[in-house]
């Protein structure tokens, strides 16, 4: 009951002209960037992050959340009309979405995807309201050893999810942790790894690094790939008929529930739940032979699972400070950039902000449904934007964003350097997400680790002697085993359907 009252107050905060404009703008920008071929939710958030820094924290996070779920929807457009999955989680959508587009039913497929995304997002947000406060309340019992264990779990699980070798993930994680140590020491107050440069005394600006690794790297990748305008299938009718909706409703419901409940678990990504949903629909269908040839159920289920997982991922992010996917790792960084501490204290110290953001997600979900169905034709036109126009715009926004945070050319140089590094990481298949996660969590892990040793007089066994910490470690072992199994299964399915490796 208390959660409902907080949520109603959150709605009263969002339902003001300026805040509604923020939610609308975030949803639109996310959809636009998500629609553009080659750009997914992670890149969308990184590219548009600088725009939110001029806002107050609540409005900034509202916009970032809108960009996230808007870009998740936008990815279905290229998957259905062009057979190009912007993210690996959109691969299942291409299997029947593109054949439907070739049959002249691309508009109906996009309509089902929009309706499924709305219903799945709504179910996920209801779950967020019900479960996140309970989890956060229980997590208030945690001390430094438990927090350190939680963050270690997040690292171990996401390292396994990257789609790369574990050795590469660990090396990149250590590199990220090393970068996080630059500046003034947390416990000692002594400068570290500044090599005589005063600019490094304050450490590296996180926004500059994220802009470089995702936005500038994306420009360099586009130049190398010589991206050109790709023709898409024409759209005839943008609204699904009664038969399409009848076939889609139960797949939408099943995909939503499967995506949400699995999405709560760290290590279960939207890619995993999308493929699981697709396989479930195919197995229970009376006509499995139609899958892969234009079955509307093959779009409804995976798209719903995809979006429900995205909403469910906010539960461990807000309640525990654990990102369940790469885009949420960037959102975690955004929260910390705003000076907020994701985890149980967020609900205690910033409850008004949290419930306002959650309320904005309900409204943003409705905005996406209202706008996306009539604007499907416009989104399709956006897929034709040549990279020769798009690339310079991304680069300009990136440089301005890096400079605007501290009005420092040093931050621009940092963004460019990490943009070049990100390009080579991508080219030689070194995972970026472990680096970002360790960069973000590094200071918090260092602080929790030092505090744990202080309260135990240097006894390293404290992490195994405290009941909650030990239970978390045991649960982590189970989650890692499940994550390894599901990740391997999903990699096999991606290779089977696309013939290539994709990061997720």
> Per residue in 117-154, pLDDT tens?
888 888 888 888 888 888 787 777 778 888 788 777 77
pLDDT, residue 421, reads 93
**Per-residue pLDDT tens over the stretch 94-107:** 888 888 888 878 77
Is the pLDDT at 50 greater than 90? The verdict is no
Say which residues have a Cβ less than 8 Å from residue 445's Cβ, sequence separation at least 6: 148, 151, 152, 177
Half-sphere exposure of 77 (CA within 13 A, CB side): 32
Is the pLDDT at 86 greater than 70? The verdict is no
Asked whether residue 405 is domain-assigned, the answer is yes
Mean pLDDT, the chain, rounded, equals 80
**Per-residue pLDDT tens over the stretch 106-121:** 778 888 888 888 888 8
Selection from 209, 210, 177 nearest residue 193 by Cα: 177
pLDDT, residue 359, reads 92
Tokens at 107, concatenated: 């508009």
280-304 as b/e, with b when 16 or more CB fall inside 10 Å? bbbeebeeeebbeebbbbbbbbbbb
Mean pLDDT of 260-276: 77
Is the pLDDT at 501 greater than 60? The verdict is no
Selection from 208, 147, 270, 271 nearest residue 439 by Cα: 208
Asked whether residue 320 is domain-assigned, the answer is yes
pLDDT, residue 471, reads 84
Asked whether residue 65 is domain-assigned, the answer is yes
**Confidence (pTM):** 0.78
Asked whether residue 503 is domain-assigned, the answer is no
Q: What is the extent of the structural domain holding 350?
A: 2-498
Asked whether residue 504 is domain-assigned, the answer is no
Tokens at 451, concatenated: 């505090």
Asked whether residue 147 is domain-assigned, the answer is yes
Asked whether residue 431 is domain-assigned, the answer is yes
Instruction: Please say whether the beta carbons of 7 and 357 come within 8 A.
Output: no
- Give the percent of the chain with pLDDT over 70: 87
**Per-residue pLDDT tens over the stretch 385-431:** 677 777 788 888 788 878 877 778 888 899 999 999 999 998 888 88
Asked whether residue 212 is domain-assigned, the answer is yes
- Domain total in the chain: 1
């Amino acid at each position: 009951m208390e959660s409902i009252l907080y949520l109603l107050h959150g709605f009263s905060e969002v339902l003001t002209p300026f805040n509604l404009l923020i939610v609308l703008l975030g949803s639109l920008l996310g959809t636009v960037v998500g629609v553009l071929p080659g750009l997914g939710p992670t890149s969308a958030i990184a590219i548009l992050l600088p725009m939110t820094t001029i806002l107050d924290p609540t409005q900034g996070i509202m916009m970032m959340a809108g960009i996230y779920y808007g870009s998740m929807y936008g990815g279905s457009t290229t998957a259905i009309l062009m057979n190009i999955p912007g993210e690996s989680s959109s691969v299942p959508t291409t299997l029947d979405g593109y054949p439907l587009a070739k049959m002249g039913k691309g508009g109906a497929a996009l309509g089902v995807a929009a309706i499924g995304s709305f219903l799945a997002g709504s179910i996920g947000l209801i779950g967020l309201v019900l479960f996140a406060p309970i989890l956060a309340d229980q997590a208030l019992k945690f001390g430094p050893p438990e927090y350190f264990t939680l963050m270690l779990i997040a690292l171990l699980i996401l390292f396994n999810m990257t789609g790369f070798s574990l050795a590469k993930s660990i090396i990149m994680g250590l590199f990220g942790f090393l970068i996080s140590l630059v500046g003034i020491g947390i416990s000692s107050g002594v400068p570290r790894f500044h090599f005589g440069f005063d600019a490094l005394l304050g450490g590296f600006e996180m926004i500059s690094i994220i802009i470089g690794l995702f936005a500038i790297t994306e420009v360099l990748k586009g130049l190398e790939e010589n991206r050109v305008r790709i023709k898409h299938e024409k759209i005839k009718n943008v609204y699904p008929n009664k038969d399409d909706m009848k076939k889609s409703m139960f797949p939408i419901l099943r995909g939503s529930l499967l995506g949400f409940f699995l999405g709560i678990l760290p290590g279960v990504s939207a890619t995993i739940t999308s493929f699981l949903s697709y396989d479930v629909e195919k197995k229970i269908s009376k006509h499995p032979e139609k899958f892969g040839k234009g079955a509307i159920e093959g779009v409804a289920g995976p798209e719903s699972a995809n979006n429900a997982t995205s909403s469910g991922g906010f539960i461990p992010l807000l309640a525990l400070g654990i990102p369940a996917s790469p885009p949420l790792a960037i959102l975690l960084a955004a929260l910390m950039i705003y000076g907020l501490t994701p985890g149980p204290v967020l609900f205690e110290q910033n409850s008004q902000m949290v419930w306002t953001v959650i309320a904005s997600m309900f409204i943003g979900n409705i905005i996406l449904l209202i706008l996306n169905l009539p604007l499907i034709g416009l989104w399709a036109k956006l897929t034709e934007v040549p990279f020769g126009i798009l690339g310079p715009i991304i680069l300009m926004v990136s440089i301005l964003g890096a400079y605007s945070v501290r009005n420092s050319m040093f931050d621009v140089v940092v963004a460019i350097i990490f943009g070049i590094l990100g390009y080579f990481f991508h080219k030689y298949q070194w995972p970026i997400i472990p680096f970002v996660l360790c960069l973000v969590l590094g200071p918090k892990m260092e602080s929790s680790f030092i505090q744990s040793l202080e309260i135990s007089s240097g006894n390293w066994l404290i992490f195994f002697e405290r009941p909650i910490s030990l239970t978390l470690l045991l649960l982590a072992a189970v989650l890692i085993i499940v994550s390894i199994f599901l990740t391997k299964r999903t990699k096999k399915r991606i290779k089977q359907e696309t013939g290539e490796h994709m990061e997720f």
